[in-house]
Structure 1
Amino acid sequence: MPRPRSLTPGRISAAALTVIDRDGLAGLSMRTVAKELGLSTMALYRYVHDREELERLVVELVLGAVDIEPPSSDASWRERVEVMVRRLRDTVGAHPSVVPLTLTHRHRSPGVLRWSETVLAILTEAGFEGEQRVIALRCLLGYVIGAIQLEHLGPLSGEGTVAVAALPQDEFPYMAETARHARNVSADQEFLGGLAVLLRGLRA
């Protein structure tokens, strides 16, 4: 039986992303996606082999939306890299539960490969070579992935900061004081401040 034309990879990936956004990554399965599409689980297997293929479709749906156009060459290399990193954060941060999948499937995703190619071109123009360039790219990817998870799973505005601020000062004087300051730091301040420190360190 031919496949219905209406059930495209785009529809399947959109349904899978809906499941992840609603139920978390643990909720993703062939059954839940089939239900989201109004199909039987066996019917979905005619289009997708397994959960791993579903994951790849979701990763490309999200990362394929990242703007990979090189920023203006009139800006400094740090400013250009910041633009690229902010684009990745804004796009992936809209679907934080997908972050672990971006690590697992990054080498198969045209979206993240194109993003990385643009960043590597900027770093190369700035004089980064060989192992230094490898480390620079990994640091940037590690920073944005970790920052997204911190922002959504352990935000400074959350209960964790309040709990740390209330710790006994005789045991945790620095933690308690730092947490009190942390309550005034916005998510953008945290992200961009950390990125600025990282970019200065890369050149050093």
Structure 2
Amino acid sequence: MTPSARITAELRERITSGDLAPGDRLPSTRQITRQWGVAMATATKVLTALRQEGLVEAVPGVGTVVRSVPAGELPPPGVGTVVRSASAGELPPPGLSAAAARRPREGSLSRERIVDAAVRIADADGMTELSMRRVAAELGVATMALYRYVPSKEDLITLMLDAVFGTVELIPEPQPVGWRARLDSIARIQWAAYKQHPWMAGALSFSRPQLVPRGMVHTEYAMATLHEAGLEPAEYLNGAVSLFNHVRGMAMVFADEQRAIQDTGLSADEWMQGNDSYYLEVMATGRFPMMALVSTIPEDVLTLESLFEFGLARYLDGLEVLISRR
């Protein structure tokens, strides 16, 4: 038995026996490589095989989890590799394995299918796990077949960004009244997209921006709003980019936290509780009186959401002063 088949069988047994319940998170590819001492390609094969069997699914910002399905749809405990029940017309032809029957022919590839697979991988495991080889394994084709449709990984990332922006509301409807409400609305649209696809924050570049037509709609909208409010070109350009940089900056913190949860299995609150004794020891030195003072404030006062809200409000307050001078 190959290493990938052995690990797949072990995880499958844990799922079918109920040791891993619906919604439970499976090890990421990185964790599989560390725990079982195998290559990344082997870890990729494991999760791909379990997804193809319908036992697991990718959840954005969480990772690969056990799929929530009726118990009768899962193979019984102790059964080896089993393909979910299918009608006679769906069974593989004689002599063709179930895995081979599921593997798409390279002729069925398209740019859209490649981009969709890449987004699923990034949503579940982050950009560090995304590679052309991983996408090819997800689709069951040779890696080189992808390059007929996507010239490079950089091009793939640009296409992924544009595809995601195509799934969100580009312009708020109905149109908010006033420049402040319009900028507030567009910022929240981006914030929601980043939280649904945490990898986007690190993939977008503000110093060397990719040509992402659907994403550029947001910048155009923000600049037009500030232009109508009376700002000069340099002002509304910097104003729009500064707004989205605040959203992206907070989104990168959000993405870091999601990765930390995946790697440690601990939420931020649980991690803080585990460091309480050390924190109290430091506070007892008396060197940080302001930190000691705010430590009595309820924990929900400082969250990622509160930081986003506070920063957005103060940014808009600053613009309001600038616009009033015009």
TM-score norm. by structure 2 comes to 0.55
Q: Which residue of 2 aligns with 1:147?
A: 250
More helix by share: 1
Q: In the alignment, which of 44, 49, 54 is matched to residue 146 of structure 2?
A: 44
Residues 100-109 or 142-151, more deviating: 100-109
> Partners of 1:147 and 1:52 in 2: how far apart?
24
1:126/1:20 CA distance change after superposition, 3 Å: same
Matched, 1:101 2:203: yes
Whether the 8 Å CA contact 1:77–1:126 is kept in 2: the answer is yes
1:124 partnered with 2:241: no
Alignment of 1:70-89 (within 5 A): 72=174, 75-89=177-191
Correspondence for 2:309 = 192
How far residue 72 of structure 1 moved from its aligned partner, in angstroms, is 4.7
Establish whether residue 183 from structure 1 lines up as the match of residue 286 from structure 2.
no
Change (3 A) 1:120 1:15: same
Aligned-partner Cα distance in 1 for 2:175–2:152:
43
Range moving further from structure 2, 174-183 or 194-203 = 174-183
Map Cα deviations across residues 119-175 of structure 1 (whole Å, 9 max, x no partner): 1111111112122212211210110001112234259x7157655864425122223
* Structure 1 spans left out of the alignment, 5+ residues: none
Q: CA RMSD in A?
A: 2.6
> Which residue of the partner structure matches residue 164 of structure 2?
62
Whether contact under 8 Å (2:180, 2:316) holds in the other structure is yes
- d(CA) in 2 for partners of 1:182, 1:68: 36
Q: Is the 8 A contact 2:168 2:193 kept in 1?
A: yes
The structure number with the bigger radius of gyration is 2
In structure 1, distance between residues paired with 2:144 and 2:178? 53
Q: Which residue does 1:31 correspond to in 2?
A: 133
Q: Which moved more, 1:73-82 or 1:182-191?
A: 182-191
Identity %: 31
1:158: which partner in 2? Answer: 268
Structure showing greater relative contact order (alpha-carbon pairs closer than 8 Å, 6 or more residues apart): 1
* CA–CA distance in structure 2, aligned partners of residues 20 and 74 of structure 1: 33
For the residues of structure 2 that align with 1:51 and 1:24, how far apart are their CA atoms? 14
Residue equivalent to 1:174: 290
Q: Distance in 2 between matches of 1:179 and 1:15?
A: 44
TM, length-normalised to structure 1 = 0.84
SS of the residue 1:96 aligns to: coil
Distance 2:126 2:118 in 1: 11
User: Is contact 1:120–1:137 with CA below 8 Å preserved after alignment?
Assistant: yes
